[in-house]
Amino acid sequence: MMPVAPFFELGAFGAFGSQVAAVAIGIAFGVALERAGLGHAPKLAAQFYATDFTVLKVMLSAIVTAMLGVFWLARLDVLDLTLVAVPETWVLPQLVGGLLFGAGFVVSGLCPGTACVSAATGRGDGAAAVLGFFVGILIAGLAFESLRSFYDSTARGVWTLDQWSGLSYGVVVAGVVAMALLAFVVAERVEARA
């Protein structure tokens, strides 16, 4: 069986079709976040007080669903995995970026996606967070030349968990799913005690 996906790379969608699909998926993503209550900052901040792990559970659900979907669709030759773009890794810059992202998450109670959802539903804190993103992007862009050497440091190219660990792709999938299911159980128990 010849793969039929990714649709754009294999010619099923043209450029316009892929943009329409991207907009539709983006809207669906926003609606799902809002329906899950993730446009409300106190709900997200509750994670840091160990009283509500909705964010963790939503993220892990998304990771597990996507991971199993990608693995099995590729294994059944529906998806050509070599045509799926994988972001490259820069270890130190991404560690620092992750810390900065986490700090912003704690301070605002919102991450980029949920901030957009929050702003779209008319919340002032969401709008302030979105404004903050653009100011931050502008400052980082203006200071980029002085950041460039750090930005380009510790480059590892496309570096996936199976390459890093030396384990097979399927074993990594099993490990991540096991970790996610364990995290679900622990989160539910902590929530029950709160």
Partner 1 sequence: MTRRVLACVAGVLAVLAAFAGSPYRNDRAGIDVAALAEEVTRETDHVTALELAQWIRDRKPGLRVLDLRDSLSYAEYRIPRAEQISMSDLVSRRFPSNETLVLISDGGAHAAQGWVFLRARGHRQVYFLRGGLGEWIDEVINPAKPSDLTRYFGGMPRMGEPSGMEVGEESAVTRAQALRRRGC
Binding footprint of partner 1 on the chain (CB under 8 A): 3, 9, 64-65, 68, 70-72, 74-75, 77, 80-83, 168-171, 173-174, 176-178, 180-181, 184
The smaller minimum CB distance to partner 1, of residues 127 and 177, is found at 177
Reading the block at residue 117, the tokens are: 């959802």
User: Are 64 and 180 a contacting pair, CB within 8 Å?
Assistant: yes
Closest-CA residue to 42 (of 29, 60, 55): 55
Nearer to partner 1, 11 or 122 (CB): 11
Taking alpha carbons only, the member of 139, 98, 132, 100 closest to residue 115 is 132
In the complex, minimum distance from the CB of residue 173 to partner 1, in angstroms, rounded to a whole number: 4
Tell me which DSSP letter residue 55 carries. H
- Residue 3 backbone dihedrals phi, psi, to 5 degrees: -60, 145
Rounded Cα distance between 66 and 64, Å, is 6
- Cβ 76 to partner 1, closest distance in Å? 9
Instruction: Supply the minimum distance, in Å, between the C-beta of residue 98 and partner 1.
Output: 26
Q: Are 187 and 47 in contact (CB under 8 A)?
A: no
Cβ 125 to partner 1, closest distance in Å? 30
Nearer to partner 1, 98 or 175 (CB): 175
The tokens describing 112, both together, are 């980029």
CB of 129 to partner 1, least distance (A): 31
Q: Which two tokens stand for residue 74?
A: 């590729």
3 or 132: CB nearest partner 1? 3
Residue of 106, 120, 102 lying closest to 39 (CA atoms): 120
* Residue whose CB is less far from partner 1, 63 or 127: 63
